[in-house]
């Protein structure tokens, strides 16, 4: 869907439908709708049907005007009760309205800036959030379907209506919203693709296309090169698969930033996780195709960086492999030497995510002088037990940084909740034969994953760990995140890059 401005007085607006927001049980319409009805839509103000519309959250109603009007339809969408309104309500309401337009097969619906008046949110951020959510709410992964296809080309264009020329800031809002929605959709495509398609080679190809399109630097390290460099933990996981494994290094360094300390994003790229020798139960194993959602989020973020041309140095590290139970697979009781030199006693080969991430964290610490490192991974089922499927866990070695990242997540609609990484948790992974084990007891499983990763980041480097095991995929429609891959993390990372000097 394209987004275009239509500038001029309301009497000149032409569109298939105009979208307005409505509060539940409100004594009168919001200012923008009220003014439009007084000037152009008297027919709607006189309609009994408008009074029947309740304005419940995400409820939509379509009102048809006289044939001689330039605007033949008004789509009203409910925001729920005014005293419970927040940005998340705006996001899901906009997504519902545009889906209604898709169902009606409307080519050019419109959203007037005046529709945001009275929402107690500044116009620019309200517009950005509404546009991102609206575009993401229309997302579908259907590239492999051959029949029973529903029309997905509608709407073709969303018009933003305004009675005067928008300033540069407002014009940039549309460009930024389009870039962010495209990056999230890109991540969703990677995660939603089946594991026989979305292999490590496929992710390497996606990284190559980004590098070619935007001028990023890309290094693709194959298994033998990674092993020769000392990435014993990554190699141990990868050696059980017949699919070639790759350690991807993607760098965005616009002119003038080449010597800056980079933000390093590390994404887990397990393209299918059987559990290895510690084989998972067969039920729902198909869900393990999205164990590479961390790498997907990093690649989606780089798509945003390329589109927005943000002048910050950012490095993305993605260890990509399958975890398979082959005869060469690593085993419980093996002791593995990691890139950092630390040795790891393998208790469970199903704790493979932390094994590939620990070498990536060590590589980031050695190869760069990072301003900070942030890793993202579908790391632990315990995170789903603790926080459910709508909230991800955040941990780190700086409480103030962890809090700032949590606040960013709340602002962009990707909820995070902090968990502690106190030193005594390390007692759970002490080993008799190595520096430590890769898992401990079942208790505090998400924290144990974090405390393991913490061993591979020097204390002087700010570090944050995001466990997105519950949020990378949704089994129900969330409005702006349809059933399937969510692209969780792209928005957090984009906002972190935008705000990097403040973090």
* Rounded distance between C-alpha atoms, residue 454 and residue 451, angstroms: 5
* Helix locations, 151-259, DSSP H: 168-192, 200-214, 223-229, 232-238
* Rounded distance between C-alpha atoms, residue 116 and residue 14, angstroms: 19
Token digits of residue 71: 């605007």
Distance from the Cα of residue 247 to its chain's centroid = 21
* Rounded distance between C-alpha atoms, residue 200 and residue 269, angstroms: 8
Token digits of residue 171: 């014009």
Asked whether the beta carbons of 160 and 113 are under 8 A apart, the reply is yes
Distance from the Cα of residue 403 to its chain's centroid = 19
Asked whether the beta carbons of 102 and 155 are under 8 A apart, the reply is yes
* Rounded distance between C-alpha atoms, residue 296 and residue 190, angstroms: 6
* Rounded distance between C-alpha atoms, residue 263 and residue 295, angstroms: 15
Asked whether the beta carbons of 276 and 327 are under 8 A apart, the reply is no
- Report the b/e string of 355-386 with b at 16+ CB within 10 A: bbbbbbbbbbbeebebbbbbbbbbbbebbbeb
DSSP 326: -
Cβ-in-10-Å burial (0-12, 13-18, 19+) of 212 comes to exposed
The answer to whether the Cα torsion of 198, 202, 204, 206 is positive or negative is negative
Catalytic positions, written as ranges: 280, 354
DSSP 22: E
Helix H or strand E segment including 134? helix 123-137
Asked whether the beta carbons of 224 and 246 are under 8 A apart, the reply is no
Token digits of residue 460: 């002087």
Asked whether the beta carbons of 277 and 464 are under 8 A apart, the reply is no
* Rounded distance between C-alpha atoms, residue 447 and residue 393, angstroms: 9
* Rounded distance between C-alpha atoms, residue 449 and residue 257, angstroms: 33
């Amino acid at each position: 869907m394209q987004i275009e401005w239509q500038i001029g007085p309301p009497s000149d607006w032409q569109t298939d439908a105009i979208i307005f927001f409505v509060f539940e049980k409100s004594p009168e319409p919001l200012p923008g709708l009220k003014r439009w009805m007084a000037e152009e839509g008297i027919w709607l103000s006189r309609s009994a049907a408008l009074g029947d519309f309740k304005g419940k959250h995400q409820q939509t109603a379509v009102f048809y005007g006289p044939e001689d009007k330039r605007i033949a339809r008004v789509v009203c969408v409910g925001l729920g009760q005014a005293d419970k309104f927040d940005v998340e309500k705006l996001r899901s309401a906009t997504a519902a309205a545009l889906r209604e337009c898709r169902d009606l097969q409307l080519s050019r619906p419109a959203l007037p800036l005046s529709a945001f008046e009275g929402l107690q949110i500044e116009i620019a951020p309200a517009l950005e959030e509404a546009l991102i959510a609206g575009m993401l709410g229309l997302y579908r992964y259907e590239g492999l379907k051959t029949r029973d296809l529903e029309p997905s080309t509608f709407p073709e264009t969303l018009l933003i209506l305004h009675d005067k020329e928008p300033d540069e800031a407002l014009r940039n809002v549309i460009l930024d919203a389009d870039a962010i929605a495209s990056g999230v959709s890109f991540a969703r495509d990677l995660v939603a693709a089946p594991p026989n398609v979305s292999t490590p080679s496929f992710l390497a190809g996606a990284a190559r296309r980004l590098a070619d399109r935007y001028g990023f630097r890309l290094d693709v390290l194959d298994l033998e090169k990674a092993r020769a460099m000392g990435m014993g933990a990554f190699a141990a996981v990868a050696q059980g698969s017949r699919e070639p494994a790759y350690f991807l290094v993607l760098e965005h360094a616009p002119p003038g930033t080449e010597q800056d300390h980079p933000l390093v994003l590390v994404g887990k790229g397990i393209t299918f996780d059987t559990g290895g020798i510690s084989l998972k139960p067969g039920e729902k194993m198909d869900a393990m195709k999205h164990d590479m959602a961390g790498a997907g989020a990093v690649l989606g973020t780089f798509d945003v960086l390329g589109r927005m041309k943000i002048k910050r140095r950012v490095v993305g590290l993605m260890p990509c492999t399958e975890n398979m139970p082959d005869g060469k697979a690593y085993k419980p009781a093996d002791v593995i030497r990691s890139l950092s030199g630390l040795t790891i006693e393998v208790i469970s080969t199903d704790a493979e995510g932390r094994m590939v991430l620990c070498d990536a964290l060590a590589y980031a610490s050695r190869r760069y002088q990072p301003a900070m490192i942030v890793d993202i991974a579908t790391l632990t089922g315990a995170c789903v037990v603790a926080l459910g499927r709508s909230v991800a866990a955040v941990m780190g070695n700086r409480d103030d940084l962890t809090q700032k990242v949590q606040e960013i997540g709340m602002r962009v609609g990707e909820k995070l909740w902090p968990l502690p990484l106190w030193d005594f948790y390390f007692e759970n992974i002490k080993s008799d034969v190595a520096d430590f084990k890769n898992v401990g007891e079942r208790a505090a499983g998400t924290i144990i994953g974090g405390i393991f990763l913490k061993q591979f980041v020097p204390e002087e480097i700010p570090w944050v760990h995001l466990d997105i095991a519950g949020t990378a995929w949704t089994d129900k429609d969330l409005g702006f995140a349809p059933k399937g891959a969510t692209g969780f993390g792209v928005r957090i990372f984009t906002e972190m890059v935008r705000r990097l000097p403040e973090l």
